A = this chain, B = another copy of it.
Amino acid sequence: MPVTMDLAHLLQDGGKIILFVWDGVGGIQAGADDVTELQAARPPNADRLVAAGCGGLLEPVYPGVTPGSGPGHLGLFGYDPVEYRIGRGALEAVGVGFDFRPADVAARLNLCTLDSGGNVTDRRAGRIPTDESTQVVAKLAEAVGEVDGVEVHWAPVKEHRALMVFRGEGLGDGLEDTDPQATGVPPREVTTTDESPESARTAEIARKVLARAREVLADEPKANMILARGFAERPAWPTVTERFGLRAAVVAGTPMYRGVAKLVGMEALEATNDVEKDVASLAAAWDDYDFFFLHYKHTDKAGEDGDFDAKVACIEEADAALPALEALGPAVLTVTADHSTPSAMKAHSFHPVPVLLSAATARRDGVTEFNEVACAAGGLGLRPSTHLMPLALGHAGRLAKFGA
């Protein structure tokens, strides 16, 4: 069996697919009851769906490897994250809805505070409120719009975060971060990670932009400098339309998840991180797409906060959205996660994630609960997460017979 199979010649029309991601929903046992968050929640709709369908475990990147959010989602979309690498700047650029083009180079910014000696005293400028940071970024956009013939675009994100995009000929993205990841030291100088003239030129532009930013922001009380991270070009990947024949939409209220979906050719629908509204947004576009990726963020947040009970409550909230999705009549409805975020670990983890697949064509496997332990005995087995997309296509009748 190959690691990845080219399915293009097998694609045919078929039913609609919903991929509902409960971000970070996988856990490990904790507390007096010694159960995972899913075992504690016993989500009634997911339990019912897995009982009528099938379950399994997905491994997102590689055994023992903890996925970031980008890699975790790429795997679910059928893109091996070890092969499809993406820079953080690129992810942020598409995530905020910036018109990010193939030759552009993007970087994430932190507004930060420097002392009079030029050392960083706060890497997040006191977590400056968004309305204030928006004004700071507007000031930069006003003052630094072009350097050496390269356009410099700026966009505020949230609180201390912002985006910077260079647009022009002959740019490269082999640049180190200038964020020193520490206070009491100055921002790092701009240096390159490769020997290409494109990266060298881009580094020279970045130096001028950062020097100019320092002048422009000198009088700001909190955000008197910027730190750049994750310089990255927009990757030119084949889309889910090309690879899987899907007109695909993403409903994700958080820029990063929307961003990674857009990189593989999904169109962004309105999303708010309010699951009821997000389901309504999906339903409103039901006729226009074959594949819907719906993202539920709050499970991950509760896990990272180490709040077991909050994560259980989030699972229940996400679970309550399932009947509305079922009512749309998808051929395949699948629920899983991009990675585990055990509240006992307060962080993403390497543990495989449970998956349920509900379809008229599903082979029932005796699994009656949607959790890590029950799904370990499921008919889908333990697999790389890149197997989910072909499984969904198959169950939706979208893959023709291979060979005579």
Q: Which residues of A approach B to under 8 Å, CB–CB?
A: 1-3, 5, 7, 10, 27-29, 34, 36, 57, 59, 61-71, 80-83, 85-86, 88, 91, 230, 256, 345, 348-352, 361-366, 372-373, 376-384, 386-387, 390-395, 399-404
Q: Which residues of B contact A381 (CB under 8 A)?
A: 57, 352, 376, 381-382
Specify the chain B residue showing the minimal Cβ separation from A376: B379
What residues of B have a CB within 8 angstroms of the CB of A373 in the complex? Answer: 364-366, 379
Minimal Cβ-Cβ distance residue in B for A6: B82
Q: Is the CB of A88 within 8 A of B361?
A: no
Alpha-carbon separation in the docked complex, A146 to B7 (Å)? 40
Which residue in chain B gives the minimum CB-CB distance to A92?
A: B404
Sampled A-B contacts (29; CB under 8 Å): A1-B80, A1-B82, A2-B3, A2-B62, A2-B83, A5-B62, A28-B362, A28-B364, A34-B364, A36-B363, A62-B402, A63-B383, A64-B390, A64-B395, A64-B399, A65-B390, A65-B394, A68-B401, A69-B403, A70-B403, A71-B403, A349-B361, A364-B373, A365-B373, A365-B376, A366-B373, A377-B377, A382-B382, A382-B383
**In the complex, the 4 A-B pairs of residues with the closest C-beta atoms, listed nearest first:** A64-B394, A381-B382, A68-B403, A64-B390
Other-chain contact of A363, B10, B28, B382 (Cβ < 8 Å): B28
Within the oligomer, what is the number of copies of this chain? 2
List residues of chain B with CB within 8 A of the CB of A395: 64, 350
Interface majority SS on A: helix, strand, loop or mixed?
A: loop
Q: Nearest-CB distance from A100 to chain B (Å)? A: 16
Known: A1-B61, A64-B387, A345-B361. 8 other contacts (CB 8 A): A5-B82, A27-B363, A29-B364, A36-B363, A64-B394, A349-B361, A364-B373, A365-B376
Would you call B361 and A57 a contact (CB within 8 A)? no
| Residue of A3, A34, A57, A62 contacting most chain B CB atoms (<10 Å) | A62
Which residues on the B side are within 8 Å of A70 (C-beta)? 403-404
**Residue contact A392 to B64, C-beta cutoff 8 Å:** yes
CA distance in complex: A68, B10 (Å): 12
Q: How far is the CB of A37 from chain B (nearest CB, A)?
A: 12
Q: How far is the CB of A264 from chain B (nearest CB, A)?
A: 15
Q: Please determine whether B376 and A376 come into contact, CB atoms closer than 8 angstroms.
A: no
Q: Which of A27, A70, A376 has the most CB of B within 10 A?
A: A376
Among residues of B, the one whose C-beta sits closest to the C-beta of A386 is B1
